[in-house]
Amino acid sequence: MVYFNCDYTEGAHPRILEKLAGTNLEQTPGYGQDIYCEQAARLILQACAAPEAQVHFLVGGTQANFTVIRWALRAHQGVIAPETGHIHVHETGAVEATGHKILALPCGIEGKLTAAQVEKAAAEHFAGSMPPVHMVQPKMVYISQSTENGAVYSLAELEALHGACQKWGLYLFVDGARMGYGLTAKGADVTLEDMARLCDAFTIGGTKCGALFGEAVVLVNPELSEGFGYAVKQNGGMLAKGRLLGLQFLELFRDGLYFEICGRANQLAYQIADACKGAGFTEYAPSPTNQQFFVFPDPVLRQLEAKYHFSFWEKVDEGRTAVRICTSWATREENVRALMEDIRAAGSRL
């Protein structure tokens, strides 16, 4: 069986394992106070052109999300998110478990929020003369780059969201679990510098982008940085051997490895998408990144799933199912070629 179901089926990029092995017996201070975390943070801030920002390394994405959100919000405040947002759907209510409501807004198949939606939601709350104390006060906007359905915010969209947030006093927080794929996507015009310029906080995902694990939390707005270490510890995100996180991000950002491997995975994903379209299968959601979403007749899917793992996404109708096909740094070209052939063959039998 070959796994195309997600981007975290293997371990880490070999260079990362080498780095871990090569430094294994060095003694360093714990809890992220080591030289590797310091160097990795510096590299990331250089890439962001944001020398005043702060970087903290956390282990996982759910943890990073709820830690930042809980930290940024006061008790009566909530976070606006698209209704397909990871925090709303797939984190077991972790944000609510810290006491905060997610103000979910409808979004299209791409899973994006628009500035107009944010403006409307904020205006409804803040426009009156009295604070509407019976309702949760919006204070943050959460989006993902790339989104759950593989889409990418353009620079114009991001700037509009930034503008809406500035206007209404909202923080803009971007979940970058798949930031590497988002920034290297076909047609993408957003850079890390833009992220740092337009967001109050964002994450740069390691887990799905070549690391064993780890998310770099970049705190740009100084209101959010002071004391964030307390939040990391309190929420169980402070790794005793913090060096493990520093070392991995150091390797990923030392010479562009992060973007190189994510870009390559995107390219492989496009090949698969082309094969699907060529064979006549319907695109479920348009995606320029490593996650591709296609609709297959159920008998076709059963055949393919004898050899390949995909992620079930949705039962589209009686006889058809949408699945996610995913590539990563570790995806082998021969497996992609085999999958493409099988897809073409399935198409020709329709």
Under the binding rule (CB under 8 A), the answer on residue 28 touching its own copies is yes
Residue 309, both tokens: 């793992």
Tokens, residue 329: 């740094």
Contact segment (CB under 8 A) with its own copies among 155-163, 167-175, 223-231, 267-275 equals 223-231
Q: Which range, of 94-102, 108-116, 249-257, 273-281, touches its own copies by CB under 8 A?
A: 94-102
**Residue from 10, 193, 255, 333 in contact with its own copies (CB under 8 A):** 10
Instruction: Rule CB under 8 A: say whether 66 interacts with its own copies.
Output: yes
Cβ at position 336, least distance to its own copies in Å: 14
Q: Say how far apart CA 32 and CA 119 lie, in whole Å.
A: 38
Note whether 94 binds its own copies by CB under 8 A.
yes
Lookup: tokens for 241: 């051997």
Nearest distance in Å: CB 118, its own copies: 18
Choices 43-51, 205-213, 262-270, 299-307; region in contact with its own copies by CB under 8 A: 205-213
Q: List strands edge to edge, sheet with 320-326.
A: 282-285, 291-297, 320-326, 311-317
Burial (CB count within 10 angstroms: exposed 0-12, middle 13-18, buried 19+), residue 221: middle
Nearest CB to its own copies, comparing residues 196 and 257: 257
- Determine which residue in the list 45, 152, 185, 238 makes contact with its own copies, applying CB under 8 A: 238
Q: Any idea how long the chain is?
A: 350
* Site residues (CB under 8 A) for its own copies, limited to 43-62: 59-62
- Residue 76 Cβ, how far from its own copies at the closest point, in Å? 3
**CB-neighbour burial class of residue 283 (10 A; exposed 0-12, middle 13-18, buried 19+):** middle
CB neighbours (10 Å) of residue 198?
A: 22
Smallest gap from residue 101 Cβ to its own copies (A): 4
Cβ proximity to its own copies, 122 vs 212, nearer residue: 212
Q: Which range of residues in 5-13, 47-55, 112-120, 151-159 is near its own copies by CB under 8 A?
A: 5-13
Options 44-52, 115-123, 234-242, 278-286: segment touching its own copies (CB under 8 A): 234-242
* 86, 109, 152, 297, 315 from 274: Cα distances, Å: 27, 20, 19, 18, 22
Segment contacting its own copies by CB under 8 A, of 85-93, 149-157, 165-173, 316-324: 85-93
Residue 315 binds its own copies (CB under 8 A): no
Helices marked H in the chain = 14-22, 35-48, 61-72, 86-89, 94-97, 115-126, 155-168, 179-183, 192-198, 222-225, 228-234, 243-254, 257-278, 298-304, 333-349
Query: Do the beta carbons of residue 151 and residue 285 sit within 8 Å?
Result: yes
- 3 contact partners, CB below 8 Å, separation of at least 6: 9, 308, 309
For residues 100 and 162, which CB has a smaller minimum distance to its own copies in the complex? Answer: 100
Q: How far is the CB of 169 from its own copies (least distance, A)?
A: 12
Asked if 101 is part of the footprint of its own copies (rule: CB under 8 A), the reply reads yes
CB atoms within 10 A of CB 299: 12
For residue 75, the SS3 value is coil
Smallest gap, in angstroms, from Cβ of residue 205 to its own copies?
Answer: 10
Q: Is 139 in the site for its own copies (CB under 8 A)?
A: no
21 binds its own copies (CB under 8 A): yes
Q: Which residues pair with 295 in a beta bridge?
A: 282, 322
| Residue from 20, 109, 316, 338 binding its own copies (CB under 8 A) | 20
- Told to check if 140 binds its own copies by CB under 8 A, we report no
Output the smallest distance, CB 146 to its own copies, in A. 17
Nearer to its own copies, 63 or 292 (CB): 63
Structure-token match 């939601």, residue found: 121
Residues 268-297 that bind its own copies (CB under 8 A): none
